[in-house]
Chains A and B, each alone.
Chain A
Amino acid sequence: MGKTNIFNAFFLGVEDLTNKVVKSKYNPFYYHGALPQFIMYILFLSGLLLFAYYVPTVDNAYSSLNLVNAFTSVDYITNKIPFGAVIRGVHRYAGDAMVVAIVLHAVRVWFTDRFRQYRWVQWISGIVLLIMVLFIGQTGYYLIWDERSLLLTRMTVSAFDSVPFIGESLKHWFMNGRTITNLTLSNFLFIHIGLSFTLLFALWIHYVRMTRPVITPPPALNYILMAIVFAVVYMVPITATRMADLNATPTMMDVDLFFLWPYQILAAAGPLGYWFWMVVIFGALCLVPLPMFYGSKPVEAAEVVNDKCVGCRLCSLDCPYQAIEMVPAPAGSRFKLLATVKPFRCSGCGVCVGACAFDAIDLPNMEDAEVTARIKQLVEA
């Protein structure tokens, strides 16, 4: 199995070093899933503050002093609202941190072999979450409504247009009409905020097969994460850009690679090439848990000895993967509940065996009676 492969050994070595510096309670590698969750809270809060002053319109027919559109509202936030520039920076760099944290999370999950078989729901929902986060970030860049936003919007329209059969409808859905208007920008705002809340639903699916998921890093790590975001805000401050002009045709400029790397592909390979690469990349990622590529040992699920089960529920509560369900005991039983194992969720860890005081559940290849006999034999040997 993947227990001793070189990547796993790499992570174990790095984590061992980290444990020597900070206690394992504060080792950030052990919170690789909780860190993106915390960053999401930062994004929600900073996003809420920005949303309070944002105006989703595109009018710039009259470049008067009283012009109010998306770009001027963002400008207002940056220059006039106290700490508006900082909040804007926090929102942008927390977003980048989110992509980095998700990728590191995925890398650790992959290298430490925690995605197979019974964990496939987590992996696939994770890929879906990544796609959602990327799209949310991209709509965020459109919302500023500067030249880059206009360019990205046009590129996306051309990408959607090239999808066979449904391309035209997709394009019109995206622009909320036939051309870019105020409705387009309010659509972007809806996608940006609405999809962010949909993340919560997708996260539920990501967590549903785990009991007591670890979703909060210890406060010390949260402070350090915020500190890093603040430091980056200082080191890479928000710089001025130009308002979008629907009559002009801006060209490619420097892009934030964390979110906008698909646009590099789009610019390089054209719309069809873009879709090809997106499907290939994300399809390959989704196929990772397939057993045939890795030859992992099939899991032998735990089995309940129905006669001995008293329905105490300890195995069901302890199981880390929600694989044991308590069902009403059959008629004629002295007890009210009976444990049943859902074999496709079982990881073969044996926590249920450790929880059972009645010898009513066993791993098929390692029964606890055998183990106890072996222990006694070793003592006497």
Chain B
Amino acid sequence: MVIALVFAVVCLVGCLGMLWGELHMPTAESESGTKVELPHTIQLLKMEGPANHLVESFNSQREGLARPLTEKKAEGPLGEYVYSLMLGLALTAGALAVMTLGSEDEVEKTIIPEKK
């Protein structure tokens, strides 16, 4: 039971991480400072302000995770590696969710149901 709770908590954390990673995806390619093209719907909804603010905060978060990569002299856009890490966390959360919430059938004991 405790283990199921632990799984559930890790699940939740992973789902949040996945959401974070997905929102990161458009900015993964760009370096900080370059303008990211937002979808037209954002302009229609007049949400450019909050959207740009979100993009800026993502950029700064990404900088934090990307710093160890620059120290290791990684090649290629660093945001991609960060994205890959987030995807890894999301996949782990998904797997733990499946294993916890999956079918409840007992695997060590089988009771034969009555014949119809």
Residues in chain A within 8 A of chain B (CB atoms): 21-26, 78-79, 82-86, 89-90, 219-221, 223-224, 226-231, 233-234, 236-240
Contacts and interface: CB of A to CB of B under 8 A. Distances in A.
Nearest to B14: A227
A344 B42 CA distance: 70
Given A21-B3, A227-B89, A86 B94 contact: no
Given A22-B99, A220-B95, A224-B92, A230 B85 contact: yes
B91 A234 contact: no
Given A26-B99, A85-B80, A227-B95, A239 B88 contact: no
B16 to A, nearest CB: 16
B73 A240 contact: yes
A223 to B, nearest CB: 4
Of all A-B residue pairs in the complex, the 6 with the closest CB atoms, nearest first, are A85-B76, A237-B74, A230-B88, A234-B85, A227-B91, A223-B95
A229 B91 CA distance: 11
B113 interface: no
B76 A79 contact: yes
A224 B80 contact: no
Contacts of B80: 82-83, 85-86
Contact of B92 (A24, A85, A219, A227): A227
B108 A230 contact: no
Contacts of B20: none
Contact of A220 (B29, B74, B98): B98
Contacts of A220: 94-96, 98-99, 102
Contact of A239 (B72, B83, B107): B72
Given A21-B3, A24-B108, A230 B87 contact: yes
A90 B91 CA distance: 15
A236 to B, nearest CB: 8
A71 to B, nearest CB: 12
Contacts of A239: 72-75
Given A86-B80, A230-B84, A237-B81, A224 B91 contact: yes
Nearest to A238: B75
A89 B91 contact: no
B75 A223 contact: no
Contacts of B77: 79, 85
Contact of B76 (A78, A90, A226, A230): A78
A23 B92 contact: no
Contacts of A82: 29, 80
A26 B98 CA distance: 10
Contacts of A236: 72
A240 B75 contact: yes
B91 A233 contact: no
B75 A233 contact: no
A219 B73 CA distance: 34
B55 interface: no
18 contacts: A78-B75, A79-B76, A83-B80, A84-B76, A85-B75, A85-B77, A85-B81, A86-B80, A220-B94, A224-B92, A227-B88, A227-B90, A227-B91, A228-B88, A231-B88, A233-B84, A237-B81, A240-B73
A83 B99 CA distance: 29
A84 B72 CA distance: 18
Which one of A21, A227, A239, A240 has the greatest number of beta carbons of chain B within 10 Å? A227
Given A22-B99, A229-B88, 4 more contacts: A79-B77, A223-B91, A230-B91, A236-B72
Contacts of B98: 219-220, 223
A4 to B, nearest CB: 22
Given A223-B91, A237-B69, A24 B76 contact: no
Contact of B91 (A23, A79, A84, A226): A226
A17 to B, nearest CB: 12
Contact of B82 (A78, A84, A234, A238): A234
A84 B81 CA distance: 10
A230 B87 CA distance: 7
Contacts of A90: 84
Contacts of A234: 69, 81-82, 84-85, 88
